[in-house]
Structure 1
Amino acid sequence: MTVIESKVTLKRPVAEVYTFLADCNNHEQLMPENVSGWSSTRDEARFTIQNMASLALKVESRMENREVVFVPSERAPFDVTLRWQVQPDGEYQTQARLTIEAELNMMMKMVAAKPLQKLADFQVEKLRAVLG
């Protein structure tokens, strides 16, 4: 199992950050430019990563003001879980962490680990830009 993490501190209450992350419709704002064909509902998102693959992710679980877990809703190139965790850091500040857990063989790890880390870092920075 390959585990990739990135985290950020936001000047927003935990409930506000959780509410944003719990809705798949908001995640389009966190995607890099090489993502296209976005369609989503509150519980599922479909998109294409340029020159790579089409993905469909769904919310597997939500724990209010704590965690939102996304898993593939269709066959994916490898098993992957995206886990957003939030926790209060004072009254008006929140720590948000994105963890990507991927089942990668050695060959896939060599190819995919760096882009997955880049994606995680990009998404937390976009979250900071959107929510501050």
Structure 2
Amino acid sequence: MHIETPTKIIAKSKEEVYNFLTDLQNFEKLMPESIDKFEILDEDTFLFALSGMPQIVLKRKEQIPHEKVVLGAASDKLPFTLSALIEEKDAGTSEVTLSFEGEFNAMMAMMIKGPITNFIGTLSENLTRI
């Protein structure tokens, strides 16, 4: 399953956006209002829980300075990644696209597509306010 947000314009340089996204504590600022729990587990891992949803643990999988940050599921039960692609629009302005990639059976994909789309949409929208 592949879900991608529309590209958002961020009034920060690509370096500033990258630095923001590589500090995992900042993801708490991007979470939906329905967040029940957010906890940093180690320098590369955090967990969060939204109302009515199970806890999700995300681990930093890849970083390409000032261009890309990839987080992935810490568990192999539901393998997925969440990537932020950062491009410079002009000096002091960046374009960011979030994409979700996951391997799910058809039934699971059907159940989670709506909530995942809403979740990454909220992350993307909140990123415009950093």
What TM-score does the superposition give when structure 1 sets the normalisation length?
0.90
CA distance in 2, matches of 1:85, 1:22: 12
Q: Does 1:65 align with 2:69?
A: no
Contact map agreement 1:36 1:47 (CA 8 A) in 2: yes
CA distance in 1, matches of 2:50, 2:87: 30
DSSP-derived class of the 1:89 partner: strand
Q: Does 1:89 align with 2:89?
A: yes
Q: Which residue of 2 aligns with 1:27?
A: 27
Per the TM alignment, residue 126 of structure 1 is displaced from its structure 2 partner at its CA by 0.5
Per the TM alignment, residue 50 of structure 1 is displaced from its structure 2 partner at its CA by 2.3
Q: Which residue of 2 aligns with 1:3?
A: 2
What TM-score does the superposition give when structure 2 sets the normalisation length?
0.91
Misfit runs of 4+, over 3 Å: none
Let me know the Cα RMSD of the aligned residues.
1.3
Aligned sequence identity (%): 26
Per the TM alignment, residue 33 of structure 1 is displaced from its structure 2 partner at its CA by 2.3
CA distance in 2, matches of 1:74, 1:111: 19
CA distance in 2, matches of 1:107, 1:63: 34
CA distance in 2, matches of 1:24, 1:10: 18
**What amino acid does structure 2 have at the position aligned with 1:68?**
V
DSSP-derived class of the 2:28 partner: helix
**What amino acid does structure 1 have at the position aligned with 2:15?**
A
Count the aligned residue pairs.
128
CA distance in 1, matches of 2:93, 2:37: 33
CA distance in 2, matches of 1:119, 1:37: 15
DSSP-derived class of the 2:90 partner: coil
Per the TM alignment, residue 87 of structure 1 is displaced from its structure 2 partner at its CA by 0.9
DSSP-derived class of the 1:94 partner: strand
CA distance in 2, matches of 1:98, 1:14: 14
- Provide Cα deviations, 1:37-84, integer angstroms capped at 9, x if missing partner: 2111442111223222111111011110011111122354x2110111
DSSP-derived class of the 1:26 partner: helix
CA distance in 1, matches of 2:89, 2:18: 14
